[in-house]
Amino acid sequence: MISHLTVILGLQLLGEVITRALGLPLPGPVLGMVFFLVLLVLRPAFADAIKSTAQGLLAHLSLLFVPAGVGVVGHIKTLGSDVGVILLAIIISTIAAIVVSVYAFTLTAKLMGQSND
Amino acid sequence: MTDFQDIWTYLSSEPLLWLTATLAAYVIGDALFQASGKRAYINPVLIAVILLAIALTLSGTTYETYFNGAKFVHFMLGPATVCLAVPLYLNLRQVGKSIIPMLVALIVGPITAIGTALGIAYAFGIRGEVLLSLAPKSVTAPVAMGISESIGGSPTLTAVMVILTGITGAIVCTPLLNALKITDYRARGFAVGLTSHGIGTARAFQVNETAGTFAGVGMGANALATAILVPLLLTLF
């Protein structure tokens, strides 16, 4: 457990250092995820060992967004009178982007002759 | 017997109270979500945030004091993001054969997200810093704040819009995609992660591992796509 956490934190650290050193437009943890994937591909036995730690952390991924969400409540008033329009823009554009992306994916998969599941 | 004032002085200076409160609020949110039969609009994050905002207001606690406790939860976002590699590895074959559909979605999806948001806000008279802050809202917060700063937006405003976009996506995705009768969970997950980053990805993992895996890929890929597309699309406004 502790050794697994050390590997996970170490990969995040490596990701943070490299994205900052190279000025990449990518968060450190995302690059850390890429490194972790490479490690798992190279050492499949390690995947079985670390699977439960990782899945435990991901099982309540939603919880981890709560502190940031509470921060938003305090800042909503900085939007002032624009808040209604901003919310409208966010809701419509989120729906539009989901619809367009999902059809782009499924139609391309269909053209390639892939099954639907 | 110590009076309440002394106990409160201890509690308000230590992280324990608000760390416990954060977990408790989420437990309540999650219990309501489970009790509702996992309905998307009963979003555990939203419920926990509302409960905590009420508690902070009633107790006169500042966000700084709250975050002193909640930062331990917040910190785990980084390691959890790294851990997205595990479901990705376990589903690597399926992700590999979906590269081309993902690339197509990765071009049109972010353009739609950025274009419609800027278009609607612009049509209603939003200009300047607020408009610029809106552009990267579909991307995971640290990247979105970086993009916002580089184009002249406000990183703080962007963080607010990012979280609102995440919660919106997590709430609308399941009813929306069910109404469209989309049964391909690769596409469903990818679209949600691409549009509403980590909060959408967390929602996708509640649905199933395939959706969650593809949402994680969508989130990571869109961090790059939006960083490239936002400066290009802004030349139109």
Q: Are B82 and A64 in contact (CB under 8 A)?
A: no
Q: Give the pLDDT confidence score for residue B186 in this predicted structure.
A: 97
Interchain pair A65, B169: CB under 8 A: no
Write down the domain spans for chain B. Answer: 4-75, 87-234
Q: Give the pLDDT confidence score for residue B192 in this predicted structure.
A: 98
How many alpha carbons lie under 13 Å from residue A101 in its C-beta half-sphere? Answer: 38
Interchain pair B187, A30: CB under 8 A: no
Q: pLDDT category, A96, cuts 50, 70, 90?
A: very high
Asked if A68 is an interface residue toward chain B (Cβ–Cβ < 8 A), one would say yes
CA distance A85 to A47: 47
* A103 CA: distance to closest CA in chain B (Å): 8
Q: Are B120 and A89 in contact (CB under 8 A)?
A: yes
Q: Which of B23, B76, B101 sits opposite A108 (nearest CB)?
A: B101
CA distance B71 to B172: 28
Q: Give the pLDDT confidence score for residue B9 in this predicted structure.
A: 83
Interchain pair B160, A40: CB under 8 A: no
Q: Which of B113, B118, B177 sits opposite A97 (nearest CB)?
A: B113
Residue B196: list chain A partners with CB under 8 A. Answer: 94, 98
* A7 CA: distance to closest CA in chain B (Å): 10
State the residue for tokens 């071009």: B107
Interchain pair B79, A8: CB under 8 A: yes
Q: How far is CA B7 from CA B2, B3, B14, B21, in A?
A: 7, 7, 11, 16
What Rg value do the Cα atoms of chain B yield, rounded?
19
Asked if A48 is an interface residue toward chain B (Cβ–Cβ < 8 A), one would say no
State pTM to two decimals: 0.91
* Residues in CB range of A40: below 8 A, 6 or more apart: A46, A47, A50, B85, B86, B89
Give the ipTM: 0.91
Give the three-class secondary structure for A98: helix
Write down the domain spans for chain A. Answer: 1-59, 65-117
pLDDT digits (tens, 9 = 90+) for A32-68: 999 999 999 999 999 889 999 998 888 888 999 999 9
pLDDT digits (tens, 9 = 90+) for B139-163: 998 889 989 988 999 998 999 999 9
- Sites in chain B below the pLDDT cut of 70: 1, 237
Interchain pair B141, A40: CB under 8 A: no
Residue B171: list chain A partners with CB under 8 A. Answer: none
Q: Extract the tokens encoding B192.
A: 């949600």
Asked if A13 is an interface residue toward chain B (Cβ–Cβ < 8 A), one would say no
Q: Are B104 and A29 in contact (CB under 8 A)?
A: no
Q: pLDDT category, A97, cuts 50, 70, 90?
A: very high
Query: How would you write B145-182 as a 3-class SS string?
Result: HHHHHHHCCCHHHHHHHHHHHHHHHHHHHHHHHHHCCC
